[in-house]
Structures are given as C-alpha cells and as structure tokens.
Amino acid sequence: MLFMFGESLPRDTLVELFRETRSIEEGLNLEFFVEAPGQSIRTNGLSLFTRCLRDGDVVHLFADTPPHFVRRMAPTPRVYAGADSYALMDRVAVFQRGAGCCVEMGSGSGIQLVGALKHHHHLTRAIGKECDRRAVNVSIFNAALNGVSDRVTIVSEDTALGAYGNADIVSFAMANPPFLAVPRQIAVGGLDSPLDLHAVFPTAGWGGEDGLEVTRQFVEEVRPLMGAKIPLVIYSQFAGDDSGPDHIRRYAERAGMDFTYEPLPSRRGPFRDPATHRVIDRWTQPVLPAAEAAATIARLIVAALVAVRHPERFQPAFRSGAPEHGMMVEIARALEKSYARQGITRFYDGFAILTSRR
C-alpha cells in the first residue's frame, strides 16, 4: 500500500517491514517519505512503476502518482514518468554504440539513465542533469533500486556537464525536455497586465514560444562533448508546418548538426475526453493541428489558474458558458496567433535525432 498506492502506514509497521529504522529516517531526510497523521508515514506523492525491457530485464522505479499535471502544480515539484518516458527509453534501446558514457538532460526519475545502462552493458557511466533537488534524490534511489548506482552521476543545474563528461567518450545523448509551445506572456481581456504564462504553467511542460527553448539550452551544453557521428535523440512535440517539424530541423542546421526525424507510431489506448470527462478508447495522433494544440494548452493554463485559487481540487475541463471556458477560448486564440506569427501549423510527436558532424 505504501509503495503501490502512496497510502500511509504506521511507523511501527514500517520498522517491522524494514527491520531497522535507519532506512526510514534516511527516507525522511531525502523527502522520499513524509510524516502523516497518527504517527504514520507515506511516500511523498510517489508510487512504484515497473517496466519490462526488450531483453526481458525489468526496471523498477518510483515516480509521481498520476494525474501528473495536478502533481506538478503542487508547491513541491513532482517526479514524472509516463508514456513519453517509456517511448524514449525504447528508442534508445536500439542504439548500436560502443563503450563510453551516455548523457541526459532532465534526468527526473532516472528512468532513462537506468534503462540505458540495463540495455547497454558496455556503457561505463550514465550522466544526468537535473535542476530539482527532490528529483535528484529520487533518481539516485532508483539507480540503487536497480543495482546501477555505481555507474550513475547526477549533475545539478549549476554544474556544467563538461566537468563530468570530458573524461569519458560520449556514446550518445538523450532528452525528453519540456516542449509545450507556450509564450512567456499573453494579453487576456479583463486583466490589467499581460498574463505571465511562464509563472503559471508547470515548469516541467513549458518549452517557450516555439517549444524549443529548453531543448536549445541542452544542445548547446552537450554538443562540445559529442564527437563525430554521435547521436542526440530528443523526444518532443515539435513545431512545424505542413512539410514537417521545420523549427528543430532549421535549428540543427544552424548548429552544424545532421538531422533526421522519426514519427512516434500511433497507438491505441484509453483517454479522458476533456469535454465530457468520459474515458474513451482511441488512437493517438502523431501530427496535431496547431488549433487543436492551442485548445489543449489553453485548457491546461486555465486549470492552472483555477488550481491557484482552489488547490484542493483539479478541474481539467469547463462547461460552455462558464467564465473559465470564455478565458480558455480567448487564450487559445492568443496561442493560435503566436503560432501563426512563427509559421507553425502543425506539431509533430516523435524523435529528432541530431548528429554531430565534427
């Protein structure tokens, strides 16, 4: 119950399970555990996830308990693992690379680092960069849980990757960065000043006006560590036009890197209809029209604004005619205008592979 569903357990029960108190106290110090009412303890919004790898090996990890968006609105940032995390891990698994180290931006739960080391036994080390202290603690715990802690290094936001990567040959790099195309601010009727979307929107999703702001920062940092023909694979929802994900392609060309794009295969699964709240079975869309993306992001923005006033509940949809619905429509129109100014007509769900030429 403690690990699977985040339910609290009496401290005495945990002592009996662990057969000692040191692990419990260490978990509290790392904020992996938190005190709960009645002398009980629970995991800090975390649940246990298990993923079977291609070769039959298994990855166990702790990450935040869904729904992920409401968790990210919490005062303490949460640690994400979802379908895009698994997609990137599966894509990296098929790399045929020599010995060396792999590098990741935004290691989060550590799922990519652990998966890479389990898929590629020849790797000497996996280096991740993470800005959130709590995520660092969780990823270190997950590395130990999977028996690879001796080959995992987590670098803080204010530490350059070069300080750790220069001693090793970089075999490949990877990232699942915040990628939603959200401007820093937009004008909304009824408000005295522009709405600060960067402050409102969860950091783990905000990718800047074209969705590439965080991605560019990582590429610029990791590129000096990459030798010739070394790939950097990025999972994202890339802005583009009718011809494809043009924004990331043009950026790669300016950076002197070769570019290839692989669309994420469509998959069937359950989704909640934001209009009716009903769970429906449908196929995912690897290409999303800009208007549809704007509507989805506008709904998340309004949900975030409502959550500020009512943190006890998360409201992902709003009935037609409600004030929140009117604001959602206005924000969606403002986002569409932002996309039109940039020539964005489509968003492409998949993998961009940037390869160093030097």
- Nearest CA-CA partner of 126 in 134, 142, 250, 73: 142
Name the percent of the chain lying above pLDDT 90.
Answer: 35
pLDDT of residue 73: 46
What pLDDT band is residue 1 in, cutting at 50, 70 and 90? low
Give 144-174 pLDDT, tens digit per residue.
Answer: 889 899 999 998 876 777 666 555 688 999 9
Mean pLDDT of 56-75: 67
Task: CATH number for 45-181+208-265+349-356: choose from 3.40.50.150, 3.40.50.2300, 3.40.462.40, 3.30.1330.10.
Answer: 3.40.50.150
Give 293-330 pLDDT, tens digit per residue.
Answer: 999 899 888 887 777 676 555 556 677 777 788 888 99
pLDDT of residue 274: 57
Which residues contact residue 100 at a Cβ distance below 8 angstroms, ignoring those fewer than 6 apart? 123, 124, 168, 169, 170, 171
**C-alpha 285, offset from chain centre:** 19
Mean pLDDT of 265-274: 67
pLDDT of residue 78: 65
Q: What is the pTM of this model?
A: 0.84
Which residues contact residue 54 at a Cβ distance below 8 angstroms, ignoring those fewer than 6 apart? 90, 93, 119
Bridge-based pairing of strands 100-105 and 58-64 is unpaired
**From 62-71, 162-171, 304-313, 345-354, the region with the lowest mean pLDDT:** 62-71
Q: Is 350 exposed, middle or buried (0-12, 13-18, 19+ CB in 10 A)?
A: buried
| Residue 172 backbone phi and psi in degrees, to 5 | -165, 165
Q: Where are the domains of the chain?
A: 45-181+208-265+349-356, 185-196+268-345
The kind and range of the H/E element at 220 are helix 213-222
Dist CA 188 CA 326 (whole Å): 11
**From 38-47, 98-107, 140-149, 234-243, the region with the lowest mean pLDDT:** 38-47
* Length of the chain, in residues: 358
Dist CA 170 CA 172 (whole Å): 6
pLDDT of residue 192: 73
- When mean pLDDT is compared over 53-67, 239-253, 263-277, 295-309, the highest value belongs to 239-253
Dist CA 193 CA 76 (whole Å): 28
